[in-house]
Amino acid sequence: MTQARARYAPLIIPFAIVLIVLVVWTAWWFWLSQQVRDRLDVAAEGLRAQGWEVVYSEPVLTGWPFRTRLESQHVRLTAPTGHEIAAPRLAAEANAYRPDRWVVVADDGLVLTRGDKGKVAVAAPVIRASASGLTEPFPNLALEILEPVFTAHPGAEPFPLERAERIELYLRPGEAREAEGATVQTALPASQRNVDVLFRLIDAVGRDGGPIAFMSRDGLFSLQAETVVENFQGLSGPDASSLLAAWTASGGRFLDVRGEMQAGESAARLTADELRADENGRLVGTLRLSADRAAPALAGLAQSDTVNRTATVGAAAAAGADEVLTGDVELEVEFREGRAWLGPFNLAPAPELF
C-alpha cells in the first residue's frame, strides 16, 4: 500500500497544488468583489451627503474566475444643480489580477439632463469609459463614444449636435512643471495639482438652425482641444457655483490651450496661454485664431438663432476681403463680461463652463 501511494504521489501532487491555488484564488475573487461592492456603497453615500441623488439597482456580481464584473440597472446620478446622467443599464469590469483598472460600458445608451435645458438621449453602439492608476493622486481617465446620435426630449431645448462619428475625452496627471503666474502656492508638486485634458469631436453634424450647422454650412464639424487644468483638486463643492468658486479661489485656470477646428470648408487653429471662469461660470480670456476661409463660417454663424446676428454680420464683413476668402486670417476672440467679442463686435454668450 505504501509503495502504491509513493508511486501515485507524483500524479496527485500537481492536482493538489492546482486545487489549493483554485481555492485561494476563489477566496481572493470573492473578497475583491465584496470590497468593490462595499466601496460602491461608500462612494454613493458620500455623494448623497453632499446633496447628490444616487440611484441604482442591486449590482449583480459575475466574472469568476479572472474578472470582476458589476452590472446594475436604472442607474441615475443627479447633481444638486439638477444636471443628471441616467442609464438603463451600466456594467463595470476589471481583471481580478489588476483591480486598479476598470472599464464601464453603457450598452443601452444614456440620458443627460442639462438643468433647465431639459433632457437629451444619447444612443451609440459604443459608450465606454475607463479608469486606471486608481491608487495615484489622480488616475488616468478616458471616455469613448462611437457614432452617437443626440435626441432632445419633448419640451427640452435643442441640443447643438445631431450626431457625430466619434467623441473622445482623456484626462491624465499633468506634467511635472510649475505654471507661470500661479496665484496660489501649495506644497503639492504640479504633477499632483494639474491634469492634462484632451478632447476630440470628430465629424459631427449640427442640428438644423443651430450654430454648428450654420458655421459648417451643413457640412461636418470637427474639434480637437487640449489643455492643462491647473489645481484640479480645487474642484470641490456641493453644487456648480460652489465648485467653480472653490476652483477659481485655488488659482484654477486652463493653461496652454491648443485646438484645431474644421467647420465645413473653414478651418481654424486655436491657442490661448490662459483661460479661466468668472463667478457666473462663463469663460474669461483671449483666444487666438488662425483661420483659413473664416468668412464663410462667420457669415453662416450670423444665420444661427443663438447669436447676435447684427454683430456677426459686421464681423463677417470685416473679415470678408478677397484676400481673406482665399488665404489665412488672424483673429482674437475675447471672452469677457459673459460675452464673446471679436474686436468691437459682440458675437454671442461666452461658453458656460459649469
Instruction: Give DSSP secondary structure letters for 114-132.
Output: -GGG-EEEEE-SEEEEEEE
CA of 65: how far to CAs of 30, 199, 343, in Å?
10, 36, 63
**CA proximity to 350, closest of 274, 283, 302:** 283
Question: Percent of the chain having pLDDT more than 70?
Answer: 77
**CA proximity to 350, closest of 264, 263, 286, 259:** 286
Identify the helix (H) or strand (E) that includes residue 303. none
Neighbouring CB atoms inside 10 A of 166's CB total 17
For residue 22, count CB atoms less than 10 angstroms from its CB and return exposed for 0-12, middle for 13-18, buried for 19 or more.
Answer: exposed
Amino acid occupying residue 216: S
| pLDDT at residue 301, as a whole number | 47
pLDDT, tens digit (0-9, with 9 covering 90-100), for 146-184: 999 999 999 999 999 999 999 999 999 876 444 444 444
The pLDDT-based confidence of 69 (bands split at 50, 70, 90) is very high
Higher pLDDT, 180 or 335: 335
pLDDT at 185 over 60: no
| pLDDT at residue 298, as a whole number | 52
Q: Which of these ranges, 67-81, 201-215, 315-329, 336-350, has the smallest mean pLDDT?
A: 315-329
For residue 217, is it left (φ>0), alpha (ψ between -120 and 50) or beta?
left
Higher pLDDT, 191 or 38: 38
Phi/psi for 22 (5° steps) reads -65, -40
Higher pLDDT, 281 or 97: 97
On whether the CB atoms of residues 25 and 65 are closer than 8 A, the answer is yes
pTM: 0.78
Reported for 36-44, long-range contacts at CB under 8 A and 24+ positions apart, including other chains, are 36/68, 36/70, 36/94, 36/99, 37/61, 37/70, 40/70
pLDDT at 61 over 70: yes
| pLDDT at residue 223, as a whole number | 93
* Residue at grid coordinates 459604443: 126
| pLDDT at residue 190, as a whole number | 53
CA separation for the pair 309, 301 (Å, rounded): 8
CA separation for the pair 25, 28 (Å, rounded): 5
SS3 41: helix
The pLDDT-based confidence of 7 (bands split at 50, 70, 90) is low
| pLDDT at residue 343, as a whole number | 73
Q: Which of these ranges, 74-78, 290-294, 338-342, has the smallest mean pLDDT?
A: 290-294
Strand partners, 268: 261, 291
CA separation for the pair 353, 225 (Å, rounded): 15
Higher pLDDT, 1 or 93: 93
Strand partners, 67: 95
Neighbouring CB atoms inside 10 A of 31's CB total 10
Q: Which of these ranges, 5-14, 86-95, 172-181, 321-330, has the smallest mean pLDDT?
A: 321-330
End-to-end Cα, the chain, rounded Å:
79
pLDDT at 236 over 60: yes
Higher pLDDT, 201 or 216: 201
| pLDDT at residue 146, as a whole number | 97
> Residue 81 half-sphere exposure, CB side, CA atoms within 13 Å?
18
